[in-house]
Structure 1
Amino acid sequence: MKKKRVLLIYPYFYTGVIKDQLFPPLGISMLSASLKQKGIETMKLDCTFLTMAAAIEKAKAYKPDITGIYIMTTLEKNAIGLLKKLKKCNPGSLYIAGGPLATLYPQKFAEHFDCVFKGEAAISFPDFCDDYLKVNSGVEFLITSEGSKYPGIYSLKAATIDSPVMHLTKKEIDCCPIPDRQDFDHERYQCQSFKYSGKKTATIMMTYGCPFSCDFCSKPIFGNEVRFRCLEKIFEEIRDITSYGYDSLWIADDLFTWDLQFLEKFCERCIKEDLGISWSCLSRVDSLTDEIARIMKKAGCTKVYLGIESGNDVILKLMNKKIDTATVRRGVAVLKRNGINCTGFFIVGYPGETVETIEETFAFALSLEIEEISFNVPYPLPGSKLYERVSGIKDDDWTIENETRFLYKSEFNEQWLQERIQEIQLLNSGKYRRSLM
């Protein structure tokens, strides 16, 4: 008797564009671990270093009973293209969509897929797969199933099934197994990372959720409530990461540094266990002190990425950032005093800006004298307040990588902005090099 199988697909195909962050996909890794914990045979199909044809062949050979495809804004075109081809070679599989974009627009994707899982699906999706594979009744299972049993499920196969999203509790999160990182092409990932930074970096998440409501931000998966994983599970995962040869962590949480008590305990554990791994993280500028920055440095923190966004207080209010330029200066100074490198992220050309406010942001960025400054134009992510205000967005625009270009009708000249950004970045890199002499 053929063993029942689940295939999880991450439909990103690396284009060769230089990227500072290219990591094995965490989402399908987490689902794979939960499925395997239930005894379900599971394969992760990471398309990053494959061609479309090679990915199709691998999926065809595996012959899964359930195929799950992760969809975010930049991957929609790839996901739908894969789905059409897979339905031809594996017509008997049940096709399921998940991820941020599927969460935002379940009805749209339910027209292509058998069903959609919205939000955090680390428990509901494996439960669904386990039940579905036991009954062996195909799509009929969807027609007869009770939607409330699987939080976040959405389907149009019969009468509409639309179960509300339920965010995981801290207890549920801590009961989940660590992500399944087996069978990724770790050598290729490490090679790409080492070329850019001289480190072999993997990504990890330690918190879920964010209570802030920045105008340009969309958070369909994890919601507003902040939940912290237990340190035991975190360090179990870090040890697993190092077993694959990684020597650095990119902590991808929005709010890793928000709770200073949690951050201090993490740093103390890093120092105690001495795992020989460095790390970098995102941070708000208003959550750091000299005391915590010192222990972060001692614990292996090499760089902090700051979402500064603007050098004009009026524009910061427009973005609903809940910070001002004085707070930014204090936060940067804390990190610099304690020997931690900084990268500042800025957005220029925001709706409501003027050329004068953009120039203020350029001047402010240079005045901070941080190691790296990164500028981009606003990206109106689906689900954000910004997305609701702009027009002229095309789906194909999301496939463009590493280009400063507007995805909507803007009053600002793209070429001028591109040239000014390049000039400012050259000025900053020159100042930084001179400061090291």
Structure 2
Amino acid sequence: MKVLLVSPALKTMDVYQVRARGCMPPLNLLYIAAVLARGGHEVKIIDLYAEGLSEEEFLSRARAFGPQLAGFATYTASFDMAAAGARLLKENFPGLKTVAGGIHASYLPAQCLKGGAFDCVVVGEGELTMLELADALAAKADLFAVPGLVLPKDGGAFATPRRPLIEDLAALPLPDYSLVDLSKYYLGITRAVSTAPAASVLTMRGCPYQCTFCSHHYGYGGRVRKRAPAGVVSEMKALYDNYGVREFQIEDPSFTCDPAHVREICRLIVESGMKISWNCNVRANTASEELFSSMAGAGCRRALLGVESGSQELLDRMKKGITLEAVRRTMALAKKHGMRVNAAFLLGTPGETLETARRTYEFALELDPDYVMFSVYIPSPGGELFDGLAGEGRLDLDKVYGADYITVYSEREPMVELSEVPAAQLLSLMETYTRGFYLRPSYVFKRLRTLLLPGEISRVLWGVALIFSHRFRRLADRLAGKKLDENSWTY
């Protein structure tokens, strides 16, 4: 069977946002494609986010392939685009079956089936379910016998038995990078070290933490299943040798949750002889001299640290599992070992006040990381806060869309006001704090000293444009006669 896998575009993202975020290969689809190919199916990937194709270009690519099944990765921020793409294919390919997968579809399958864009939804890990779905369609077998699906039935949605998690990750084939053009991908401006070819790698699935604002633990039940370090490094070496990859982004949401696992990966990277740079997400509660020394020695040059707040009370309420003092130690270790850190801060969670927001900004200035990301929280499907709001009827599940967070450069998605600070004021604080941090003379001087590094001038210029991009768009809207609806900031 011919299976087309599609990574949708993000219609609200402009060039500044894409550059900030980066554009990395769709690792989820590459894993599914490898499993489908091993099962005897013919697979093609179209990455609309990376390629920016028009509708006609998308259809032309699809016609050249002639799919019988089309699978769309779904995220809350891009679900509308995924559904539009599925409808477009169904209109042009009679008999084509469409399926949605990913975190958004897994959490809100019934909502995804409404409107008729998708014939079914894959819930949870997609590799084995997609293979059995393709097999069943090819054999004209009963789809209701395939575990891990949600299908329309009697005007509603029917869930087949839930598929167990894949226990042995080594049983999966490696992602099939032959299906994408790696030259179209690049790291975000706070992640890149050079302009060398880049790729992603996963060392584990799941997250052991239960942060109330986050959905990373959803679908895995808080369970972590780790890949063997030798398998991880073997995959990196294959990309290094076969595709010229010299920079890696480790996609684990909490890469350093198991320091021994990380240290063994680092040891094997050094042993392999690869000359690479890489970035990852780090946790303040697991940072140590031994860990950061190993990471730096193996090529770690960039790290994202989720700080979230300068208020210990709010951190505890978020179930973050870290202390302000642990964050200070982590920042000191990163600086000692030459890692640039992007510190992420979250405004607007329950309990936020003007005082706690001010303390968060002051904590950011104290830490003085290389980059900051102040965001305003939007409830994320799969997170504890989202569940609570949905249970209280404060969210319309048929209209959930947008990114997980609002940043200084993103569109202003509808918000649920969860604290005493009004939505409009949170947005204003976010912009004030971001510009206040980056426009300090000491920070500007620090960045100017790095301009001779490969690609640094470009990253700095993109960063400056990014900080002011939303103001540029608002000015353009005013000049075009558009009026800003203050009420659009809340549900």
With normalisation by structure 2, the TM-score equals 0.80
SS at match of 2:44: strand
User: CA contact under 8 A between 1:209 and 1:224: conserved in structure 2?
Assistant: yes
Q: Which residue of 2 aligns with 1:233?
A: 231
Residues 287-315 of structure 1, C-alpha deviations (whole Å, 9 max, x = no match): 12101211111111112211110011111
User: CA contact under 8 A between 1:290 and 1:334: conserved in structure 2?
Assistant: yes
Task: Choose 94-103 or 13-22, whichever is displaced more.
Answer: 13-22
Q: Which residue of 2 aligns with 1:275?
A: 274
Mind listing any 5+ residue stretches in structure 1 that lack a counterpart?
none
Q: Distance in 2 between matches of 1:240 and 1:157?
A: 45
How far has the Cα of 1:266 moved from its partner?
Answer: 0.3
Mapping for residues 88-107 of structure 1, pairs under 5 Å: 88-107=91-110
Q: Distance in 1 between matches of 2:157 and 2:131?
A: 21
1:389 aligns with 2:389: yes
2:171 aligns with one of 166, 175, 193: 175
State the identity %: 27
Mapping for residues 200-349 of structure 1, pairs under 5 Å: 200-219=197-216, 220-242=218-240, 243-349=242-348
Q: Which residue of 1 aligns with 2:124?
A: 119
Q: Distance in 2 between matches of 1:79 and 1:404?
A: 19
1:408 aligns with 2:415: yes
Residues 399-424 of structure 1, C-alpha deviations (whole Å, 9 max, x = no match): 98832746314314123431232112
Task: Choose 23-32 or 4-13, whichever is displaced more.
Answer: 4-13
Q: Distance in 2 between matches of 1:59 and 1:221?
A: 31
How far has the Cα of 1:317 moved from its partner?
Answer: 1.4
Q: Distance in 2 between matches of 1:359 and 1:405?
A: 22
Q: Which residue of 1 aligns with 2:42?
A: 41
Q: Distance in 2 between matches of 1:275 and 1:282?
A: 21
Alignment root-mean-square deviation, CA: 2.7
How far has the Cα of 1:188 moved from its partner?
Answer: 2.4
Q: Which amino acid aligns with 1:266?
A: I
Alignment: residue pair count: 424
User: CA contact under 8 A between 1:282 and 1:306: conserved in structure 2?
Assistant: yes
1:423 aligns with 2:436: yes
1:132 aligns with one of 126, 133, 137: 137
Q: Which amino acid aligns with 1:33?
A: A
Q: Distance in 1 between matches of 2:188 and 2:402?
A: 25
Q: Which amino acid aligns with 1:234?
A: V
Q: Which residue of 2 aligns with 1:355?
A: 354
Q: Which residue of 1 aligns with 2:454?
A: none
How far has the Cα of 1:169 moved from its partner?
Answer: 3.8
How far has the Cα of 1:370 moved from its partner?
Answer: 1.9
**Relative to 1, partners in 2 of residues 1:364 and 1:406: Cα closer, same or farther, differing over 3 Å?**
farther
Q: Which amino acid aligns with 1:362?
A: Y
How far has the Cα of 1:55 moved from its partner?
Answer: 1.2
Mind listing any 5+ residue stretches in structure 2 that lack a counterpart?
452-491
Residues 123-152 of structure 1, C-alpha deviations (whole Å, 9 max, x = no match): 22212212321x2x3xxx3xx3453xx331
SS at match of 1:408: coil
**Relative to 1, partners in 2 of residues 1:389 and 1:33: Cα closer, same or farther, differing over 3 Å?**
same
**Relative to 1, partners in 2 of residues 1:132 and 1:73: Cα closer, same or farther, differing over 3 Å?**
same
Q: Distance in 2 between matches of 1:370 and 1:435?
A: 15
**Relative to 1, partners in 2 of residues 1:152 and 1:24: Cα closer, same or farther, differing over 3 Å?**
same
SS at match of 1:155: strand
**Relative contact order, higher structure (CA 8 A, sep 6+):** 2
How far has the Cα of 1:379 moved from its partner?
Answer: 2.5
Q: Which residue of 2 aligns with 1:367?
A: 366
Q: Which residue of 2 aligns with 1:379?
A: 378
